Amino acid sequence: MSAYDELLGRSRQLDGKDPLAGYRQLFVGADDPQVPAYLDGNSLGRPLQASVERVRDLMVQGWGGRLIRGWDEGWLDLPQQLGDELGRVALGAGPGQCIVADSTTVLLYKLARAAVAARPGRHRVLVDRDNFPTDRYVLEGIAAECGLELDWLQVPYDGGAEPKSVRAAVGPDTALVVLSHVAYRSGHLADMRAITEVVQASGALMLWDLCHSAGAVPVELDAWGVDLAVGCSYKYLNGGPGAPAWAYVRSTHQQLAQPIQGWIGSRDPFGMEQGYQPAEGIRRFASGTPPIIGMAAMQDMIALIGRAGIGAIREKSIALTSYALDVVDTLLAGTGAVATSPREPERRGSHVTIDHPGARTATVRLWERGIIPDYRNPCGIRLGLSPLSTSFEEVLRGVAAIAAELAGSAPRA
């Protein structure tokens, strides 16, 4: 039996005993022959068929039928209601601490700005060098705006922030630390609980970016004492392109003052008062009119995560990334490709990155054939394995096509 046949047999076995296998059929295009392998669900999750119906109903009956009455009939409460539901099924957050709003970029700005204002007299902010660009850029802007210094945490190329490296980098002048739970390139999974403790022991506040965790990697925001977190909803929460983000503000921090003082975050939006007075509770972190159409699709995915269970989703995610690494080790041997994600499953999120000098051109050619991994600079092919919509056989199809493409473009020794 060839190595490929062996891997194929194993993929079918794994799919056969996967308790979540049936969920894949609920997604639009799961068996589209034009897309033999979608390995980019960590950048844009597939739509659920149920969301297609929901968006249609919202437009025809909600918007078209109820018109402006819709705001009083549920739309205004949706950001908090969805936040509570998301907190319950995926974040380990009790009610009244999560809200859906804005984009991740804007929420990062609002929470980071509120956090540094709550630590007057401290002048430094710690962020890791490999954090997602928007996180780094937002903090550069806040540092310039508030006269703060940024400290850049250096992290290994195939790793991420560790409690030890964070402990060595924080001090009595640190106001805030901003890190991603799952590193967007390497897939490294940080020890959220331990790092939060280290940061809080220094007197600083900790803001976690959960873009690559929410919906795939469980967290316990309440139990782990997390101060602040943000995440997006178009990755593993399948909210669709540009769907709004979410924020978590621990109940004990809800006196923080965020800088974008809009009417929706005010005490009485329809009182139209003079002088901004913030709302009590999580709503004060909202600013403007909530994006109702943008919040439609994520509702079905949040419900599905609740049904499947985030623990079972994590188990499948680990099985998928472990299988993907085995396939990479077998089929990409000799192509010059190097896996740059952590090998220990408990230190890995739901994606795996492979570096190869020909990654960029290979990805362009693969996309033309409907083999869709992600490309990330400088030379990484990222396999994002969304647990509810990805099968083991799909992983094999995708990685085998990547192997053939890279073998063709490998620099000859």
Ligand X SMILES: *Cc1c(COP(=O)(O)O)cnc(C)c1O
Residue among 23, 38, 132, 392 flagged as catalytic: 132
Give the helix/strand (H/E) hosting 99: strand 98-101
According to DSSP H, which parts of 42-191 are helical? 49-57, 78-86, 104-117, 133-146, 163-169
3-class DSSP assignment, residue 339: strand
Residue among 235, 250, 284, 348 flagged as catalytic: 235
Residue 193 structure tokens: 């609980």
Q: What letter does residue 188 receive in the DSSP assignment?
A: B
Answer yes or no: are the C-beta atoms of 380 and 340 closer than 8 Å: yes
Active site residue 234: yes
Q: Return the number of the residue (182 or 401) whose C-beta is nearest ligand X.
A: 182
Q: Return the number of the residue (40 or 135) whose C-beta is nearest ligand X.
A: 135
Residue 315: CB minimum distance to ligand X, A: 23
Give the helix/strand (H/E) hosting 13: helix 3-16
> What's phi and psi for 135, nearest 5 deg?
-65, -45
Q: Is the omega angle on the peptide bond into residue 278 within 30 degrees of 0, that is, cis?
A: no
Residue among 40, 130, 209, 355 flagged as catalytic: 209
Q: Return the number of the residue (184 or 285) whose C-beta is nearest ligand X.
A: 184
Nearest to 167 by CA among 198, 194, 196, 127: 198
Nearest to 339 by CA among 405, 411, 403: 403
Nearest to 278 by CA among 266, 287, 268, 264: 266
**Interaction site with ligand X (CB under 6 A):** 103-105, 132, 134-135, 180, 184, 209, 211-212, 232, 245
Answer yes or no: are the C-beta atoms of 119 and 145 closer than 8 Å: no
Active site residue 27: no
Show Cβ contacts of residue 244 under 8 Å, excluding neighbours closer than 6 positions. Answer: 100, 101, 102, 103, 233, 290, 291, 294, 295
Residue 241: CB minimum distance to ligand X, A: 10
Active site residue 326: no
Q: Return the number of the residue (42 or 299) whose C-beta is nearest ligand X.
A: 42
Active site residue 132: yes
Q: Return the number of the residue (119 or 212) whose C-beta is nearest ligand X.
A: 212
CA 76 to chain centre: 25
Q: What letter does residue 233 receive in the DSSP assignment?
A: S
Q: Return the number of the residue (211 or 396) whose C-beta is nearest ligand X.
A: 211
Residue 79: CB minimum distance to ligand X, A: 16
Active site residue 268: no
Residue among 227, 284, 382, 392 flagged as catalytic: 382
Catalytic residue numbers, as ranges: 132, 209, 234-235, 382
